[in-house]
Every structure is written in C-alpha cells, then in structure tokens.
Structure 1
Amino acid sequence: MNATDDVLIAYRNDGEAERWNYRPPEPVRLNPLFSWPLCPRAVWDWYRGAWLPLTALTVCLTIAVAAYAVALPPLEQMATLRPGWILRIWLLNVIPQTLVAGGLHWWLYIRKSQGMRKKFDKRDLTRKNGTFTFDNQVLDNIWWTLGSAMTVCTAYQVLIFWAMANGWAPVITFAAHPAWFALWMALIPMWSGLHFYWVHRLEHSPILYKRVHAVHHRNVNTGPWSGISNHWYENLLYFTTYFVHLVVPSHPLHLLFHAYFQQISPVFSHSGFEKVIAKDTEMARAGDFFHQLHHRYFECNYGTSEIPFDKWFGTFHDGSAEATRRTREHKKQMYTR
C-alpha cells in the first residue's frame, strides 16, 4: 500500500462525508500541470476531461461559436455606439444565461429529474427567508443575475467591441494567426482563474465582504441561478477580466467565449450537483465540489482548481475532515486578530 492509498482510505473513512448528501469518492484534485515532477499523462487526462466531454467549457464554446456565426454584428457596425447593436449584445448575454440557468434549475430543482443523486447538500433551496431579496433564494438570484450581472457584463463587452472596431484594441483573425488564435482560446480559462482568485480574495476583505460579497454568500446551499448572483459592485470587479482583450490580441470570438465562460460556467459550478443525470446515464459534468466547499466553509478555495493558488497560500480544502479542521482553525485566527 502506498501513500496515495493511505490518503484515500483516510478520506473515505473520515467524518466529513456525514455533513453532505453526496461527497465525491476522492479528494478534490488540482490541475496536474502545476505538479512536480510533471506527469504528461495526468495533464493530458485533465485537459481531455475539460474540453472533450460535455462540460461547462464545451457548452460555453459551443454557445460562443453559434452566437458569433448567427447573431454577433460585424465589427464595422460596432464602430459607432448605437442602441441596435448594443441591445443585440445584451440579448446575446441574457438569452443563453436564462436558457442554461433556467433549464438546469428546472431539471434539477423543479422537475427533480434525478432526485438527490449526486447532490452535494442535503437541503433544498431556501424559500420564505428574509435573508434574500423577495424572501426567496431563487428569485433573489434571478434578480441579481439578470438585473446586475447582465447589465455590467454587457456594458463592458460593448466597450471592448467598440474599441476593437475602432482599432483601439488589437484584433487578430484566424487566417493570419491560427496558432495564437487556438492557444489564446485555450488560455482564457486559465486567465479567468488567475483574475478570479485575486478579485475574490479582495472581496473577502472585511469591508467588501460585509457590504458587497455577502450578497453572493447568502447562498450557502447553491443553485444554478446562484452562479453570478452578485452585488453591483462585485460585478464591476468580477467582469474586469474582460479588459485583457484591450491589450492582448484577440478575435471577437475570444471575447464571446470569455464572456460565456465567465457568465455561464458558474451556472454549472453552483448547480449543487456533481453530474447531470438522465435516467441512469451521466450526461454532463455540472457542479464543482471545490467551490461548493468555499460556499460551505467560506475561508477556503478562493480560486479555482485550474491554478492552485489556494494550495500555494494554504487555503486549499480537498473535501476531507482534516481540511475542514484546518479551515475552521484558520477562520478562528482570522476573526480573533
């Protein structure tokens, strides 16, 4: 028996599983690209699992390609700020967000198509709770998503498309730069994770947490509409990730993919279920236990599993009882300083 087997046995026999309806059978994994010695097979398996099956990444990329092909105005039309194309950008945000979040919510929480299978939390979403706007978690989340998030993300995207159209931001084409086009598409999730970690850490500072980020953390037990249910000020920070396209040579499709990844992938990661199941078939990866742990224990897993900032800075929770103990001790030290 090796050390890995010992860790797995300890994990499966600790008390943490009792706190959940479903806990993954293995500890949370991080991107092996940052492990040493590097294991190419593990890295290949990680990225194959992210890009080849039906995942949040592939859904976002598919929506982006469809939106670009069918509905995005040509750049030359966006050189002048006009209500028509600005409205179209807003609709390109609102319609997919509503369809994906609404559809997943209907499947998991209204129709309850898979019951409690692969559901992390034992509880249902909250109703008649004064913590939430309208005393209802789902209505609260819909309001902050469609009202706040969609407004801010649209404004930022309009600004960037307008800059691209006027030559104020570097624009590339696939024909001229195919290698960079593909590489930048693959790097966008990593950039998103890097940006998210540092913005998220800032939002957990006492002043911003109490006045801003607490709106999102009302959702201890998350659902599909919780993903970008954020205060206005938080969305002003969260969506600054798009401004990288003002300096990094990009194609409009890059911005669309980045937008959908930033807006729609949280629908899946906050869904509350690890997998979407139809009958007895696992159709797609959904929830992210890494981030589910953050909503349960707050002061851990600030980033994503794509770049292991939390491991580097000592705030990683792998789903084990020992990690819960460390996190609670860390919180105690934070709040008694």
Structure 2
Amino acid sequence: MTYDEAKPEALPAKSTWNYHPDLPLQDRSLFNLKRGPAEGLKLLWGSWLPISDRLIVVSLSILTWFYLSPSLQTARSFTFDWVAGVYLRNLIMISLLAGGMHLYLYTFKMQGNRLRYDARPFHKKNALFTFSSQFLDNVFWSLASGVTVWTSYEVLGLWAYANGYMPMLDFTNHPIWFVVWFILLPFYGVVHFYWIHRLLHWGPIYNHVHSLHHRNVNVGPWSGMSMHPIEHIGYLSSVLIHFVIASHPIHFIFQLQSKVLLAVSSHAGYESVTAGENSDAGLKVGDFFHQLHHRYFECNYGEPEVPCDKWFGTFHDGSEDATARTRLRTKEMRKK
C-alpha cells in the first residue's frame, strides 16, 4: 500500500465506533500545567498502581533477568547457546501474549464485542496482506522480523554490559535512581516514539516501510509488532540511550519488553480485557488515542503521557471537528 493509496477519508463519512471512551479525549499528560501538580501525581500513580500493564512488565523484566537470561559472565562472548536461548524466550513470550489475547478476544470471543473499538472483521483473502490474510500477515512480521530485531538489540545490550561498553548502575549503591529509572524511561520512550513515528510518515519511508504496519486500519494483538524490519530497528532504537546513561540490564530488558509487549496489548482492539462478556472487572489494555491514528493516519503519532501531539498540532481528540482537521492536513501533506 503506497502513501497515496492510504486514504482514511475513503472510509464511510458516517462510520462510527462500536465502542469508544468519553469524547473528546482529554489531555492525560503530566505536563498539563493547568491541572496542577497534585492531579498530575494522581495520574502518575494511576498509571502504575494498584495494577497496570506497565507494572506487570516491570515484574516480568525482573523475573526475566534473574531466571531467563544468561549471566554477564556468559554474555562476554557471543555463543550460539545463550543467543538462541534469548531468541526462543522472546519468541515464546510474544506468542503467549499475542496468541493468548487473540484466542481469548477473537477466536473464542470471550467478551464478544464488548469494549471493542471497531467491530469489523479482520481481512481475509485480501492480496494487500502477506499470505492474503491480515492475521497471518501480522503473525509473520511480528515473529520473523519483530522477534529477530528485538533479540538482536537485547543480545547486543547484554554483551555490551558484560564487556563494559554500557555504564552500569546497581541497586545496592543507587537504590533511588534504580527505581526512578523505571518511571522516567517510559516518558523518554514516548518522545522517541513520536519523532521516529513522524519520520516514518514521510512519503518515501511511509511507502516503502511504514505502510506495512498501516495495512491494519482495524487492529488486533498481532498488529502491534507487525512492522517492516527497518521500522522495527527504528522503533526499538530507544534502548540505545543505555550506551550513554548508566542503567542496569533489568532497565534495558524492561524497556525492550515495554516496547514490544505493550505494543501487543495496546493494539488489542479492546479498551479492556475483562473476565467474560458481562464482567466489569478487567485490565485496561487498549489505546483509543492510537486507534484513531490507525483510522485517520496523520494524527496522534505519539502517546498521551507526553503531549507531543498537542505541542505540534497533530492531536486528534475523537471529535468530528478533529477528523475534519486531520483530513484537511492529510490532503495538504500529499500535495507537497
């Protein structure tokens, strides 16, 4: 799909969502000075506790480092055994999460269309997708490219820590900074993602690279990491900051797992995963902010935590006025 063929305005003008949160979307950033610091801290607290997908990833990264990773002594040199072990672990991890969510939400339809943003079915027998199937296309690119690039970054990082090419920060000597890193890294990741994403929407790069991800106007768990290899390299390159600022391998693993696993959950297509069709108890996973990007393309390049889209005029709040502005902006971009 070329940049010019990707026309979100080709969707029916009266197209509606099966579900959406309260609109217009509000500024949920901690950087909203009108809200005041107290409310900002409440938002920060709520993004982590009492339970969140981000907190789950922190726990998973700690378990991964202690039980599922090679020692730094082992990682000093590249050998097939430990590199293959990291690859296999990552392959299983994404398959369990994306595959499990797909089975629960789309194969067995355990909560029906409740809290699902777009109730339209995934594409089948469509030549736009690899293997003419949106599902198979997404699985292939997530595993063949996504897991390979993810593992390559992780293997490089562990080797760099082991050989002193990455500055090390340990909990014993720096307990406060050790914990603060988990809070700061996601904010840095949002800013990095915004600018990488804007670059990916530049015509030539979009046509040859990013259009693969944007085949998915209606997304599912396997869509999050369905990208061109070049996009995977750019998307995960935020971890290169660890070559500059002291950190621990746990932070490095956390950042990689956040970028991969939260991309899976945020593309679930549902606001929350609940315990059945009639249950109100569940874990928030979806991101309507980014769902708008997949439908209207030239908006919401970042994430709500840092209001880059507000600052640079690309914010879509879900309203009809915002849709009109985005479509006008898209047409002007294509004239250039």
Normalised by the shorter chain, which TM-score bucket? over 0.9
Per the TM alignment, residue 127 of structure 1 is displaced from its structure 2 partner at its CA by: 1.3
Aligned to 1:68: 65
Partner of 1:9: none
In structure 2, the residue matched to 1:315 is 314
- Secondary structure of the residue aligned to 1:284 is strand
Matched, 1:58 2:49: no
- Residue by residue over 1:18-75, the C-alpha shift from the partner in whole angstroms, topping out at 9 and shown as x without a partner, is 6111111233233332112352232123122211144321221122122122111111
1:153 aligns with 2:138: no
Residue pair 1:30, 1:307 contacting (<8 A) in 2 also: no
1:1-337 mapped onto 2 (5 Å cutoff): 19-279=16-276, 280-337=279-336
Partner of 1:13: none
How far apart in 2 are the matches of 1:228 and 1:319?
24
Partner-residue secondary structure (3-state), 2:282: strand
Letter of the 2:319 counterpart: S
Identity fraction in percent: 43
Q: Give the TM-score, by structure 2 length.
A: 0.93
- Could you list the runs of 5+ residues in structure 1 that have no partner in the other structure? 1-15
Where does residue 5 of structure 2 map in the other structure?
A: none
User: Which consecutive unaligned segments of at least 5 residues does structure 2 have?
Assistant: 1-12
User: Which one is further off, 137-146 or 39-48?
Assistant: 39-48
The alpha-carbon deviation at position 123 of structure 1 amounts to 0.4
Runs (4+) of structure 1 exceeding 4 A deviation are none
Conserved 8 A contact 2:30-2:44? no
Q: Relative to structure 2, which stretch is displaced further, 274-283 or 94-103?
A: 274-283
Amino acid at match of 1:124: P
Aligned partner of 1:3 in structure 2 is: none
Q: Residue 237 of structure 1: CA displacement?
A: 1.2
Label 1:72 to 1:271 Cα distance change in 2 as closer, same or farther (>3 A).
Answer: same
The amino acid that maps onto 2:46 is G
Distance 1:331 1:282 in 2: 39
Contact 1:32 1:42 in 2 (8 A): no
CA-to-aligned-CA distance 1:119-176 (integer Å, 9 cap, x gap): 1013022111111101111111010001001111111111111111011110111011
1:281 aligned counterpart, secondary structure: coil
Aligned residues: 323
1:68–1:253 contact (8 Å) kept in structure 2: yes
The farther-off stretch of 60-69 and 198-207 is 60-69
Letter in 1 for 2:32: S
Which is worse superposed, 75-84 or 19-28? Answer: 19-28
Q: Which moved more, 1:139-148 or 1:62-71?
A: 62-71
